[in-house]
Structure 1
Amino acid sequence: MLAVSILNRLMMAAATLFGVALIVFVLLRVVPGDPIAMMISPGATPADIAALRAHYGLDTTLPVQFGIWLKSVVSGDFGTSISLKRDVLGLLGDRLPATLELAVAALVLAVISGGLVAIAGTLARRTLLEPIIDGLNGLFLAVPDFVWALALVLVFGVFLPIFPLSGRIDPSTETHFATPFYLIESLVTFQFAVFADIAAHMVMPVLALGLPLAAIIARVLKAALSEAMVQDYILLARLKGMSNLRLVLQEALRNAVGPTIALTGVQFTFLIGGTVIVERIFAYPGIGNMAIDAVINRDLPLIQGLVLVFGALFIVINLAVDLLVAAFNPRLAHG
C-alpha cells in the first residue's frame, strides 16, 4: 500500500510540476515588457532584433514556444540565461547548494530551539513561567524573517560588528572547492578555518530564517504536548512514579511529534521561499538572490528554471514529510 501511495504521489507531483511550468510560461509572456528590448544596443537594426528573437525562440506562437521549451527541459536543456549569458542548469547547479545549506541550517536551528521551547513551556504548565514563555514565543512568531534580517544587520553588522554582513565566504580565503556545498566540504576535508568563516557568514541569515519557524514549531508542539499530557496513558505512567520531564520526553513527545512534522514540512517550503528576500539583504549568492535579478532583467529562461526548481523542491519536501508522518504513525503507514 505504501508503494502504491508513493507512486500515486509521484504521478501527482509530475502533473503539478507540468501545471506550474505551463502557468509560469504563459504568465511571463503575457505581462508587459520585452526581454529582447533590454538586450539590444542603441544601433541595432530590425534584422538584428529579429535574429535575436529567433535565437531565443520568441518569434513563434506560445504553444510552439512552450512545446520547444518543454522538450528541451525534459532533455536537460533549460536554455541560456539572457542576462548572464550562461547555461541556466549550470547557474542553478552553482547557486542551489548555497540556498540548501542555508535553509537546512535554519531548519535545524528552528527544530532544536522550537522543540526546547515547547518542552520548557510544557514543563512550566500552570506556573508563572508559562505566560512568559508563550509571550516571548508570540513575539518571535509575529516578526517576519526579513524584519529579523534587518534587525540583525543593525545589531550585529553595525552596532556590534561581529559577523560578516554579506557574501558566503571571505573573498581573501585561498581555497578551491570540488563541490558547491562549501560548508559540508570544508567540514569533511577538515578545513576548520574555512568552515568557521563560512559559518560566520551564515549566522545572521540562518537566524533570520530560523527564528520565525522556531516560534511556529514551539507553538504547535507545545499544543500537541499539552493535549498528550492529559491522556490516560500519561496518567498511568504518572501513577508509576515517572517525573514530569520523563513523561514529556518518553511518553508525550513521540505521540505529539507527528502533527509537528507535518506542519514543519509545510513551513519549510515557505522558509525556502523566504530565502529570496533574506539572501538579497545579506547579498548571499543563492538562488533566491539570483531570482530577484532574473525578474528585474526579465530573464525568461532563468526565471522558468528557477520556478521549476522551487516547484520541484516543494514537491520533494512535501513527499518526504508525508513519508515521515507515516513512519511516526503506523496507522497511516498501513492505511
Structure 2
Amino acid sequence: MIAVSILNRLIMAVVTLFGVALIVFVLLRVVPGDPIAMMISPGASPADIAALRAHYGLDASLTTQFGIWLKSVLIGDFGTSISLKRDVLSLLGERLPATLELAFAALVLAVLLGGAVAIVGTLARRTIFEPVIDSLNGLFLAVPDFVWALALVLVLGVLFPLFPLSGRIDPSIDVQFATPFYLVESLVTLRFGILADICAHMVMPVLALGLPLAAIIARVLKAALSEAMVQDYILLAKLKGMSDLRLVLQEALRNAVGPTIALTGVQFTFLIGGTVIVERIFAYPGIGNMAIDAVINRDLPLIQGLVLVFGAIFILVNLAVDLLVAAFNPRLAHG
C-alpha cells in the first residue's frame, strides 16, 4: 500500500511541477516589462534588440517558447541567466546548498526548542506556570520571521555585535571547499575553526527562521500531549507509579508526535519560502536572495528555474512528511 501511495504521489508530483512551470512561464510573459530592454544599452538599434530577443528565444510565439523551454528542462538545460550570463542550473547548484543548510538548521532548532517548550508546558499544566508559558509562546507565534531578523540585527549585530551581520563565511578566510555544502563539509573534515565561523554567520538567520516555527511546534505538540495525558492508557500507567516525566516521554509523546510531524512538514515548506526575505536581510548567498535579484532584473530563465526548484522541494518535503507520519502511525502503515 505504501509503495502504491508513493508511486501515485510521484505521478502527481510530475503533474504538479508541469502545472507550476506552465503557470509561471505564462505569467512571466504577460506581466508588464521587457527583460531585453533592461539589459541592452540605451543607444541600441532595433536590429540589435531583435537579435538579442532572438538569442534568448523571445521572438517566437508563447506556445513555441514553452515547448522549447520544456524540452530543454527535460534534458537538464534550464537556460542561461539574462542578468548573470551564466547557466541557470549551475547557479542553482551553487546557491541551493546554502539555503538547504540554513533551512535544516532552523528546522533542528525549531524541533528541539518547540519540543522542549511543549514538554515543559505539559508538565506544568494546571499550575501558575502554564499560562506564562502559553503567553510567551503566543508572543513568539505572533512575530513573523522578517521581524525577528530585523530585531536580531539591531540587538545582536548593532547594540551587542556578537555575530556577523551578513554573508556565509568571513571573506578573509582563505579556504577551498570541495562541495557547496560548507557547513557539512567543514564538520566532516574536522575543520572546526571554519565550522565555528560558518555557524556564527548562521546564528541570526537560523534564529529568525526557527523561532516562529518553534512556537508553532510547541503549541501543536502541547495540545496533542494534553489530549493524550487524559487517555485511559496514561491513567493506567500513572496508577503503576510512573512519574509525570516518564508518562510524557515514554507514553504520551509517541502518540502525540504524529500530528505534530504533519504540521511541521507543512510549516517547513513555508520556512523555506521565508528564506527569501531573511536571506536578503542578512545578505546570505542562497537561492532566496538570488530570487529577489532575479525578479528585479526580470531574469526569466532564472526565475523559472528557481520556481521549479522551490516546487520540487515542497513536493519532496510533503512526501517525506507523509512517510514519517505513516511510520509513526502503525494503522496508516498497514492500512
Aligned equivalents of 2:234 and 2:311: distance in 1? 42
Normalising by structure 2, what TM-score? Answer: 1.00
Q: Does 1:33 align with 2:7?
A: no
Q: What is the Cα-based RMSD across aligned positions, in Å?
A: 0.4
Structure 1 equivalent of residue 150 of structure 2: 150
Quote how far apart the aligned CAs of 1:91 are.
0.2
Q: Does 1:130 align with 2:130?
A: yes
Structure 1 equivalent of residue 13 of structure 2: 13
Aligned equivalents of 2:90 and 2:237: distance in 1? 56
Structure 1 equivalent of residue 277 of structure 2: 277
User: SS in structure 2 opposite 1:81?
Assistant: coil
Q: Does 1:319 align with 2:302?
A: no
Q: What are the within-5 Å matches in structure 2 for residues 263-274 of structure 1?
A: 263-274=263-274
Structure 2 equivalent of residue 231 of structure 1: 231
AA of the residue aligned to 1:4: V
Structure 2: unaligned runs, 5 residues or longer? none
AA of the residue aligned to 2:171: P
Aligned equivalents of 1:36 and 1:258: distance in 2? 50
Deviations 1:13-40 (A, max 9, x none): 1000000000000000000000000111
Structure 1: unaligned runs, 5 residues or longer? none
Quote how far apart the aligned CAs of 1:299 are.
0.2
Structure 2 equivalent of residue 287 of structure 1: 287
4+ runs deviating over 2 angstroms? none
Structure 1 equivalent of residue 215 of structure 2: 215
AA of the residue aligned to 1:188: V
Quote how far apart the aligned CAs of 1:202 are.
0.1
Deviations 1:260-316 (A, max 9, x none): 000000000000000000000000000000000000000000000000000000000
Quote how far apart the aligned CAs of 1:43 are.
2.1
User: SS in structure 1 opposite 2:168?
Assistant: coil
Aligned equivalents of 2:43 and 2:154: distance in 1? 46
Aligned equivalents of 2:75 and 2:165: distance in 1? 40
Structure 1 equivalent of residue 243 of structure 2: 243
Quote how far apart the aligned CAs of 1:333 are.
1.3
Q: Identity across aligned pairs (percent)? A: 87
Quote how far apart the aligned CAs of 1:168 are.
0.2
Q: What are the within-5 Å matches in structure 2 for residues 39-188 of structure 1?
A: 39-188=39-188
Aligned equivalents of 1:228 and 1:42: distance in 2? 68
